[in-house]
């Protein structure tokens, strides 16, 4: 029976650059004789997504024309929608030129080979322009061109782009590794082909995705259950790539979701999965990226709540919802974004309502509301502070407290060892 799921982005089916079996073995052997180029953690995640079809229809890293079009107009050179540049930076001194074939390496492991089709310089002004286009919010302030006055010095997305090397290289890749993810997250790390097969097996046609990079609290649970009511099922899709220091590790977050699903969801209506990207901290544009690659996973509705992919107070609380109304549409399903936002208002626990609610449903004043956020939860847990009632499920909070208690014990042991002269 034909799948009823939304088509992969780009109109070409799942475009997967991952080699397997004898093809992989032969390419890996060839790669050993190629120039070895060290890549960043971000590029490693991008390669894996290119390998498994998560970035369909991309076949590799973007050309200058694609980079410029994506930054300026949300479209690649051929008119296909794409919200955030997928580029690979290298040091110009490495002498990589168009026509070269290279091996892309991370920490001694060969992740891919690449046929370089274009090498283009990235000046400081180019990087600043990219930051202005990709990281700037879409509010009134952006019209005045005040990005560098408004952007916080510690904006992690800006820091990453400005730290990139002075040249980008473009071209198709042959991916040779999925890294540590299959072994470390069995049954959670799923490819687009696997999630689509699972959705088809369950008879799902309309699927929503909940993006997570923080522990799942009551607002997240509420969002997922809203989606369960109106869709066939929900993919709780956690980032299992790199986060910033201080964030809770993926395995801890994944287990917290399992606890919630086991006790508070109808299991047949929800899937717990992870994807291998690093955060780009691109605010509203990252919300668009989340919807774009979720379409490849078979998802046609992206849950977008308050401050989706936000950075501190830099973005407006609902800019990630509003940006969906401003992206280009050609009328060509192959080029347009088909995964649509499911816009949810600010959610919270209301003591007067005696349950979860939103600004659209709750008539009571702020004093009755327990405002929930991952940042507040992490801060309270790390400081051993009391967590307000109804912030999270007790079973999940106990699990998270156990993780933080383990961190405290490790610090204490390290301090004792240092005091006694042990090298620990």
Residues with a known catalytic role: 213-214
C-beta separation of 198 from 273 below 8 A: no
Give CA angle at 407 (402, 412), nearest 5°.
120
Nearest of 211, 215, 213, 199 to residue 156 by alpha carbon: 213
Token duo for residue 38: 């060290």
Q: What residues pair up with 237 in beta bridges, in sequence order?
A: 211, 273
255: helix, strand or coil: helix
Distance, CA of 396 to CA of 35 (rounded, Å) = 48
Distance of CA 99 to the CA centre of its chain: 32
Dump the DSSP string for 5-24: SPPPTTSS-----B--HHHH
Task: Say which residue the tokens 């687009």 belong to.
Answer: 192
Distance, CA of 50 to CA of 69 (rounded, Å) = 20
Q: Provide the H-helix boundaries in 313-391.
A: 319-322, 374-383
Rg, C-alpha atoms of the chain: 22
Q: Is the dihedral of CA 276, 278, 281, 282 positive or negative?
A: negative
Say if residue 250 is exposed, middle or buried (CB neighbours under 10 Å; 0-12, 13-18, 19+): buried
Say if residue 319 is exposed, middle or buried (CB neighbours under 10 Å; 0-12, 13-18, 19+): buried
**Residue partners of 329: CB distance under 8 A and separation at least 6:** 336
Q: Around Cβ 188, how many Cβ atoms within 10 Å?
A: 21
């Amino acid at each position: 029976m034909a799948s009823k799921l939304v088509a992969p982005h780009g109109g070409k089916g799942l475009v997967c650059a991952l080699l397997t079996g004898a093809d992989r073995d032969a390419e890996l052997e060839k790669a050993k004789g190629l120039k070895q180029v060290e890549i960043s953690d971000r590029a490693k995640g991008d390669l894996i997504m290119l390998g498994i079809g998560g970035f369909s229809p991309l076949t590799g890293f973007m050309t200058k024309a694609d980079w410029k079009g994506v930054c300026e107009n949300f479209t690649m050179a051929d008119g296909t929608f794409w919200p955030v540049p997928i580029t690979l930076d290298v040091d110009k001194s490495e002498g990589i030129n168009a026509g070269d074939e290279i091996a892309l390496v991370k920490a001694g492991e060969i992740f891919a080979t690449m046929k370089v089709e274009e090498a283009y310089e990235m000046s400081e002004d180019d990087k600043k322009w990219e930051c202005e286009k990709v990281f700037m919010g879409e509010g009134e302030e952006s019209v005045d061109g005040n990005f560098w006055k408004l952007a916080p010095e510690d904006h992690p997305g800006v820091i990453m782009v400005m730290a990139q090397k002075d040249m980008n290289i473009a071209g198709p890749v042959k991916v040779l590794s999925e890294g540590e993810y299959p072994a470390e997250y069995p049954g959670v790390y799923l490819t687009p082909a696997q999630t689509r097969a699972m959705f088809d097996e369950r008879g799902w046609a309309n699927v929503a995705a909940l993006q997570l990079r923080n522990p799942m609290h009551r607002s997240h649970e509420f969002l997922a259950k809203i989606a369960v009511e109106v869709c066939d099922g929900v993919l709780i899709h956690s980032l299992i790539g790199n986060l910033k220091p201080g964030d809770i590790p993926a395995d801890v977050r994944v287990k917290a979701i399992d606890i919630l699903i086991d006790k508070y969801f109808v299991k047949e209506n929800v899937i717990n999965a992870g994807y291998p990207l690093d955060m780009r901290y691109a605010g509203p544009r990252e919300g668009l990226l989340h919807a774009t690659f979720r379409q490849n996973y078979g998802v046609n509705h992206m849950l977008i709540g308050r401050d989706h992919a936000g950075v501190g107070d830099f973005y407006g609380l609902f800019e990630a919802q509003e940006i969906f109304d401003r992206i280009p549409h050609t009328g060509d399903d192959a080029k347009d974004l088909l995964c649509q936002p499911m816009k949810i208002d600010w959610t919270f626990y209301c003591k007067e309502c005696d349950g979860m609610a939103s600004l659209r449903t709750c008539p009571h004043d702020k004093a009755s509301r327990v405002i929930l956020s991952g940042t507040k939860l992490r801060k309270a847990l790390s400081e051993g502070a009391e967590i307000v009632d109804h912030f999270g499920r007790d079973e999940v909070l106990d699990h998270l407290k156990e993780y933080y208690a383990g961190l405290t014990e490790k610090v204490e042991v390290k301090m004792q060892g240092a005091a006694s002269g042990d090298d620990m």
